[in-house]
Structure 1
Amino acid sequence: MAETTKSYAKVVENGVHAVETVKELSATGYDKDHIFVLAHDQDRTERIVDTANAQEIGMKEEGMFDSIANLFRSRGDELRSKIVSLGFTESEADFYEKELDLGKVLVIAKRSE
């Protein structure tokens, strides 16, 4: 069985902290193509991604089926699916999604494979 490296996740208070966290992760060796930002509001996610020069979780990470299924899911279900697609458990995804409900931002980084 292949060993997998767990993704790094950090919940931050706002977009400014998310941008700072992305910069810190880049400085410590994470590839910018493997640093993702997620907020409860899609527009907010896009603004932070653009400002931080990070990535959105998309079809490449989720797979085609989940990406299409997200079109029909509630935003909470979609967020949990995206978080799980990066290697987190359902219970971890539930925790992070609740933090996003409170207006916080999630920054996730994966080591390049």
Structure 2
Amino acid sequence: MMESTNQKAYAKVTDNGTQAVQEVQNLHSSGYTQEHIFVLAHDSDRTERIASASDASEVGMKEEGAFDTIANLFRSRGDELRAKIQSLGFTEAEADFYEKQLDQGKVLVIAKKDE
């Protein structure tokens, strides 16, 4: 399982929603607050269900900036996910890697540190 810990954010690829919820709970207990934890899955309904079950956030307007959020309306789900991952401080290559994992049905949990 690939984990990335750069200065700005931590990411973990999990196999399913249950694991994602456990990871979010681990992050909560290590001091991250809800607004710093994000859950991404290829299917947006699934992302919402996991986010609400685990008390994590979905990446929204604030993180991406209004321009990026509007731009996302014109992207496919894959592009949108890559943009969200990059907006949380990851490189294009990392975003590509994670998006491919999501394509295979994995769930990505990201914790963003305060700048």
TM-score normalised over the length of structure 1 = 0.94
Structure-1 separation of matches of 2:63 and 2:7? 15
Q: Which residue of 1 aligns with 2:111?
A: 109
Identity of aligned residues (%): 69
Match of 1:86 among 85, 88, 91: 88
Structure-2 separation of matches of 1:35 and 1:48? 12
Which AA in structure 2 matches 1:43?
Answer: D
Structure 1 unaligned residues grouped into runs of 5+: none
TM-score normalised over the length of structure 2 = 0.92
Q: Which residue of 1 aligns with 2:31?
A: 29
Write out per-residue CA displacement over residues 3-35 of structure 1, whole angstroms, 9 at most, x where no aligned residue: x93200000000000000000000011112100
- Could you tell me whether the CA contact under 8 Å between 1:9 and 1:109 is conserved in 2? yes
Write out per-residue CA displacement over residues 14-73 of structure 1, whole angstroms, 9 at most, x where no aligned residue: 000000000000001111210000000000000000100000001100111110010110
Which AA in structure 2 matches 1:82?
Answer: K
Structure-2 separation of matches of 1:14 and 1:98? 15
Look up the SS of the partner of 1:63 in the other structure.
helix
Which AA in structure 2 matches 1:54?
Answer: A
Q: Which residue of 2 aligns with 1:5?
A: 7
Q: How big is the alpha-carbon RMSD for the aligned residues of Structure 1 and Structure 2?
A: 1.1
Structure 2 unaligned residues grouped into runs of 5+: 1-5
